[in-house]
């Protein structure tokens, strides 16, 4: 198997060969105006990001369209969330237009690396604090770097669209409650312990964080209940990431005349739901991934007979049809990147 084939290489391990980079100093951002070859950085060992966690990122995708062009899905929503993350890290905010340009230029320079559907070009904008200053624990980095790399990807979950097994963690939140909506690296490393434990001890694919029985999200996706009439997902607050796919699913559900409920869901409701309803994860990487079983309080409970449910598959189809230009982009979610 070739390691440069996005459908056989693990998700996120191969890269487009161009990147875009802007730097910031004293609040002023500088960008050369063009992509450059993907290359290593040389950073001082005292660099702020290594010590005080001044890092955040985004994750979005460009898809090959039915007409052969390539379009980024919900670019401006991801730009907006990146700006919120940078702001929460107390770093100087770039103009939305600069962040947008860095993403578009990175995709343009890597158009040739965009795999055919169902693959896509995953886009990873990243911000890091670059000041060499180990005395800056209580102050933001005076300098920073905003860069965008890309990765040709196939499926996030090995095995394609298959029902996932989810372990429900009721003791610990995924991250600190006031920082859950920020896409910062620290949140992911905090979720790692419970995730590795669930994989090892329960052969689970993902952990669903439900501190105090309040269902929130998994380590890398939002969570939904659904049936033939409705979709239900947690109402927004700062404790979890406000997924762009989540927002898209809610809109598509409305378009399909399904009822939309954004509210809290507790463990008891989830257990009862498993007897008659469907569950799925939503995220840029996960797309819409059906849940086939949940593990909670020592029990393994099948969801929907262990098979992907019809409403889940219908929502997934509608989402991917829009992303790939196979149905009309009625909400203006696509940004075509011209060569
Ligand atoms: C913790 C977490 N929750 C939810 C999501 C889903 O967000 P989105 O749909 O914007 O990819 C992600 C993925 O980015 C994530 O990392």
The per-residue pLDDT for 158 is: 67
Which residue's CA lies nearest to atom 1 of ligand 1? 220
What CATH number belongs to 164-323? Answer: 3.20.10.10
Residue 3 pLDDT exceeds 90 = no
Angle, in degrees to the nearest 10, between helices 310-323 and 244-255: 110
The per-residue pLDDT for 287 is: 95
Give residue 278 CA to ligand 1 midpoint distance, Å: 20
Count of CB atoms situated within 10 Å of the CB of 186: 16
Q: Which atom of ligand 1 is nearest to the CA of 217?
A: 3
User: Which of 2 and 213 is assigned the larger pLDDT?
Assistant: 213
Q: Which atom of ligand 1 is nearest to the CA of 81?
A: 10
List C-alpha distances in Å: 44 to 56, 134, 265, 313.
19, 11, 46, 48
Q: What is the pLDDT of residues 91-123, one digit of tens each?
A: 999 999 999 999 999 999 999 999 999 999 999
Is the CB–ligand 1 distance for residue 284 below 6 Å? yes
The per-residue pLDDT for 125 is: 98
Q: Which pair of tokens denotes residue 254? A: 């409305």
Bridge partners (DSSP) listed for residue 30 = 23
Residue 143 pLDDT exceeds 80 = yes
Say whether 115 sits in a helix, a strand or coil.
coil
Which residue's CA lies nearest to atom 8 of ligand 1? 243
Calculate mean pLDDT across residues 40-61.
Answer: 97
Which residue's CA lies nearest to atom 15 of ligand 1? 220
- Is residue 304 very low, low, confident or very high in pLDDT (cuts 50, 70, 90)? confident
User: pTM for the whole thing?
Assistant: 0.96
Give residue 45 CA to ligand 1 midpoint distance, Å: 30
Calculate mean pLDDT across residues 280-305.
Answer: 95
Give residue 3 CA to ligand 1 midpoint distance, Å: 26
CATH 3.30.470.10 range(s) for the chain read: 18-153
The closest alpha carbon to 330, from 319, 338, 339, belongs to: 319
Give residue 262 CA to ligand 1 midpoint distance, Å: 17
What percentage of the chain exceeds 90 in pLDDT? 93
Ligand 1: which of 76, 151, 189, 241 to mutate, judged by most atoms within 8 Å of the beta carbon? 241
Angle, in degrees to the nearest 10, between helices 96-109 and 75-88: 120
The per-residue pLDDT for 2 is: 40
- Is residue 156 very low, low, confident or very high in pLDDT (cuts 50, 70, 90)? confident
Is the CB–ligand 1 distance for residue 81 below 6 Å? no
The per-residue pLDDT for 161 is: 79
Residue the block writes with tokens 């060992």: 45
Count of CB atoms situated within 10 Å of the CB of 289: 27
Angle, in degrees to the nearest 10, between helices 244-255 and 75-88: 140
Is the CB–ligand 1 distance for residue 217 below 6 Å? yes
Say whether 101 sits in a helix, a strand or coil.
helix
CATH 3.20.10.10 range(s) for the chain read: 164-323
Q: Which atom of ligand 1 is nearest to the CA of 247?
A: 9
Is the CB–ligand 1 distance for residue 319 below 6 Å? no
The CATH number for 18-153, chosen from 3.40.50.2300, 2.60.120.620, 3.90.1300.10, 3.30.470.10, is 3.30.470.10
Give residue 311 CA to ligand 1 midpoint distance, Å: 21
Dist CA 153 CA 157 (whole Å): 11
Mean pLDDT, all residues of the chain: 95
b/e for 103-118, b at 16 or more Cβ within 10 A?
bbbbbbbbbebbbeeb
**Peptide bond preceding 118 in cis form (omega within 30 of 0):** yes
The per-residue pLDDT for 120 is: 97
- Is residue 274 very low, low, confident or very high in pLDDT (cuts 50, 70, 90)? very high
Calculate mean pLDDT across residues 258-279.
Answer: 97
């Amino acid at each position: 198997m070739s390691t440069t084939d996005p459908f056989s290489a693990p998700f996120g391990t191969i890269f487009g060969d161009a990147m875009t980079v802007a730097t910031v100093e004293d609040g002023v951002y500088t960008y050369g105006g063009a992509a450059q070859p993907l290359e290593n950085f040389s950073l001082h060992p005292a660099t702020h990001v290594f010590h005080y966690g001044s890092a955040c990122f985004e994750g979005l995708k460009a898809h090959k369209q039915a007409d052969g062009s390539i379009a980024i899905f919900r670019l401006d929503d991801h730009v907006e969330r990146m700006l919120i993350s940078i702001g929460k890290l107390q770093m100087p905010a770039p103009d939305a237009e600069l962040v947008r340009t860095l993403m578009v230029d990175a995709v343009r320079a890597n158009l040739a690396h965009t795999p055919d559907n169902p693959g896509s070009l995953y886009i990873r904008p990243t911000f890091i604090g670059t000041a060499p200053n180990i005395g800056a624990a209580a102050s933001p980095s005076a300098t920073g770097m905003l860069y965008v790399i890309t990765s040709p990807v196939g499926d996030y979950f090995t095995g394609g669209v298959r029902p996932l097994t989810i372990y429900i963690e009721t003791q610990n939140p995924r991250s600190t409650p006031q920082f859950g909506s920020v896409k910062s690296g620290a949140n992911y490393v905090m979720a790692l312990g419970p995730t590795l434990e669930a994989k090892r001890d329960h052969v689970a694919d993902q952990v669903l964080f439900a501190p105090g029985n309040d269902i929130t999200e998994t380590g890398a996706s939002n969570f939904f209940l659904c049936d033939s009439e409705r979709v239900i997902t947690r109402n927004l607050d700062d404790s979890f990431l406000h997924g762009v796919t989540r927002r898209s699913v809610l809109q598509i559900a409305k378009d399909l005349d399904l009822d939309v409920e954004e509210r809290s869901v507790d463990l008891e409701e989830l257990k009862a739901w498993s007897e008659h309803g469907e569950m799925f994860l939503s995220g840029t990487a996960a797309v819409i991934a059906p849940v086939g079983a949940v593990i909670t309080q020592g029990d393994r409970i099948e969801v929907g007979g262990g098979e992907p449910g019809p409403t889940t598959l219908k929502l997934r189809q509608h989402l991917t049809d829009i992303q790939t230009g196979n149905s009309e982009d009625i909400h203006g979610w696509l940004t075509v990147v011209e060569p």
